[in-house]
A = this chain, B = another copy of it.
Amino acid sequence: MNLVTLRTVREVRNHLAGVRHKGKKIGLVPTMGALHAGHASLIQTARSESDFVVVSIFVNPLQFGPGEDYLRYPRPIEKDLEICSQMGADVVFLPEVAEIYAAEQRVFVDVTRLGDHLCGPFRPGHFRGVATVVAKLFNIVQPQRAWFGEKDFQQLCIIRRMVQDLNFDVEIIPVPTYRDADGLAMSSRNAYLDSDDRAAAPTLYRALTTARAMIENGERKAAVVKDKASRIFAEQLRIRPQYFEIVDPVELQPVDEITSEVRIAGAIWLGKTRLIDNVSAALLKHFRHVTCS
């Protein structure tokens, strides 16, 4: 009912020690704020699956590269707090940068292999920044569970792998991507789009779902699927595609021949705005039978 806003690590630890002492299970929804319906769905899920919900709001400078949108990233704090309150969060952790990076950061969480494709090559240091800040948040909040959106699928996989590889005692729960009626995945960055770019933006999801349909209909060659996606993007002159990849869903390595479940992921530029999205795809069983017989 009463949303508590805490700004320091010490306050969070003190507050949560009391909560933990009562035997409550703590859930964490890490965000960079600029909350939209996708975040609301995450917080709502967390609310229904834990005794006590902490939402962190922190625009993490470490995960932005030089020339990226760290400074212009939207920070509508009042609205964010209202959404947290409406969705039933108990605590919002809203630290200053100097609280999270008190001294010069010397120790980082480093991600190999899972960061080598998709967004990784285009955003050097990004996943190191994400993994490092999430490790910090896990150690500050010490949640039993944490919710991450599937929209940032590579991030989700990396956090899941971090939990496994560093033995964090946290259960990672993926939440399906929340979409507008025309398919566009909810993103805080959608706010950057003018109306023409907003109209073109669902092309990314259309390319992804077209690719999925091809795979479900028996196409096994990644090159053929990717070629179709290229042609979809080429029809929409506003779009500059950055990548469109078909990868295995664990190690995130590109596959040439699609033989089991894959993740299809893409990134596009619309003006100065970069959008990403992804879907899962698998050969349907009857097609596997057909090709084996």
Could you tell me which A residues sit within 8 Å of B by CB distance?
Answer: 9, 13, 102-103, 105-114, 128, 131-132, 135-136, 139-140, 142, 158, 161-162, 164-169, 251
Contact = CB atoms under 8 A, between A and B. Distances in A.
25 contacts: A103-B165, A105-B165, A106-B111, A106-B113, A106-B165, A106-B251, A107-B109, A107-B110, A107-B112, A107-B131, A107-B161, A107-B162, A108-B109, A108-B110, A109-B109, A109-B110, A109-B166, A110-B128, A132-B166, A135-B167, A136-B166, A136-B167, A139-B167, A139-B169, A142-B169
Q: How many protomers of this protein does the assembly include?
A: 2
Nearest to A166: B135
Given A106-B165, A107-B110, A136-B166, 7 more contacts: A106-B111, A108-B109, A109-B109, A109-B110, A109-B166, A135-B166, A140-B167
A108 B142 CA distance: 20
B165 A107 contact: yes
A107 B103 contact: no
Lowest 9 CB-CB distances: which A-B pairs, in order? Answer: A110-B110, A107-B165, A139-B167, A107-B162, A136-B167, A108-B110, A140-B167, A135-B166, A139-B168
A112 B106 CA distance: 5
A131 B165 CA distance: 13
B168 A107 contact: no
Specify which of A106, A135, A251 lies most central, judged by the most chain B CB atoms within 10 Å of its CB.
A106
A139 B135 CA distance: 11
Contact of A169 (B13, B103, B107): B13
A161 B166 CA distance: 17
A159 to B, nearest CB: 9
Contacts of A128: 110
Contacts of A107: 109-112, 114, 131, 158, 161-162, 164-166
Contacts of A109: 107-110, 166
A103 B164 contact: yes
Contacts of A9: 167
B108 A112 contact: yes
A109 B109 CA distance: 5
Contacts of A105: 165
Contacts of A251: 106
Specify which of A13, A114, A135, A166 lies most central, judged by the most chain B CB atoms within 10 Å of its CB.
A166
A142 B139 CA distance: 10
Nearest to A128: B110
Contacts of A13: 169
Nearest to A158: B107
A161 B105 CA distance: 9
